[in-house]
Amino acid sequence: MLLPLHGRKNILLHGLPGSGKTTLVERLVNKIPYPKRGFYTREVREKGRRIGFKIVTLEGKEAWLAKRGKGYPQVGKYKVYVELFEKLAVPTISEVKENEMIIIDEIGKMELFSKPFQEAVLKVLDSKAPVLATVGYGLIPFVEELFKREDAIFAEVTPESRDYLVDRIAVEFYRPGFLIAIEGLDGSGKSTFIKGLAQKLEEKGEKVCVTREPTSGEWGQKIREHLAAGSKISPQAMAELFLRDRREHAQNFLIPKLQDGQIILCDRYYLSTMAYQGACELDIKEIKKANETWAPVPDLILYLKVSVEEALKRVNQRKFYKPEVFETQEFLTKVASIYENNLKYFRHEIIDASASPEEVLERAWEALSKHLEAWKERFR
């Protein structure tokens, strides 16, 4: 399996009824080249009227999950057939074999009447098997706990996102390339560092591309204009601009390059948005979830750590320097704290950036080499 190195192998899709979650899962099952086990939940209609839901395994076996009528347990107009569900569906996600991917469509109110199903879901999410699951809405304690998991990638399925999500989700399960995000305060030396790192990788014969965020696209230009002018734009509006820029960047550049097997060096990524907009009092976890609907999780973050005082000193020494709205010691102290508190969600290396550029590059290369070896090991 060419799973990404970032380590988050569970993807939970959520969306309103009718958003196309099952159709998306079916397209992903056909696209991702791994052995798979699991099931779909499908509507059953007669003369245009929904009469119930069936469980259909990936092997083509079927059983009723729920049907119009009275009985126990009951969800709305539907009687739930817990025993039939347990007999057919639960074994498909319980008997996990090596190198198999697990498909669960869906984890919802009807399915959760089964205690063995709940146990099987938790077991497989905690296993080494990659899991693609859809999750229902509603105030269901089991579902609410799933949304608290820090080891999962959450993606919201909407009519706007569902076609795009085919490639976006597939690249989390099958990724020949390697995405490295370079993060740190302005003044930590990212630009010089990235040039040196790209040169070292090219000398080793690697296919390397360098990019940055905000991009030079329509939304990225708007962001830069606001930052340069010190606009009094709300943190929510700025976060939305970054999200639009990142979506375009991922769709047009990051995902195609990862599919092509290239190493990407990205100067800032969505951890920056978490840090800077989080310092503006926005919900950091919600920023992370919203961005991961659209943006591939980086395989590795190289965080260039430098004190706030040193970062400001370096920035102030630049020629033609015009301070941005974010560049105050108090604000950047918050940013640095959020950066370091949220690195735990990513595979990362912290590089002491207080030394000379040559020393920083050498330390980073030493740290990166082991991750490059692990990436290459997947192809052997």
123 annotated as a binding-site residue? no
Query: Is 191 one of the annotated binding-site residues?
Result: yes
Output the CA–CA distances (angstroms, integers) from residue 7 to 145, 215, 345, in the order listed: 20, 27, 10
DSSP characters over 200-240: HHHHTT--EEEEESS-SSHHHHHHHHHHHHT----HHHHHH
Measured on CA atoms in the order 13, 19, 24, 26, is the torsion positive or negative?
A: positive
- Is residue 32 within 8 Å of 26, Cβ to Cβ? no
Q: Rounded distance, CA 172 to CA 153, Å?
A: 9
Helix (H) or strand (E) holding 270: helix 270-278
Number of H helices, E strands in the chain: 15, 14
* DSSP 8-state symbol, 297: P
Edge-to-edge strand ranges of the sheet holding 178-183: 208-212, 263-267, 178-183, 300-305, 348-352
Identity of the residue numbered 274: M
Check the annotation: does 185 bind a ligand: yes
CB distance 315 to 186 below 8 Å: yes
For residue 377, the SS3 value is: helix
- Is 69 annotated to bind ligand? no
347, 291 contact by CB (below 8 A): no
How many angstroms separate the Cα of 365 from the Cα of each of 188, 198, 204, 207, 307? 17, 11, 12, 16, 21
Among residues 244, 257, 253, the alpha carbon closest in space to that of 218 is found at 244
User: Annotation-wise, does 136 bind a ligand?
Assistant: no
| Residue 184 known to bind ligand | yes
- First and final CA of the chain: distance in angstroms? 11
Percent helix, strand, coil in the chain, to 5, is 45, 20, 35
Binding residues for ATP: 184-191
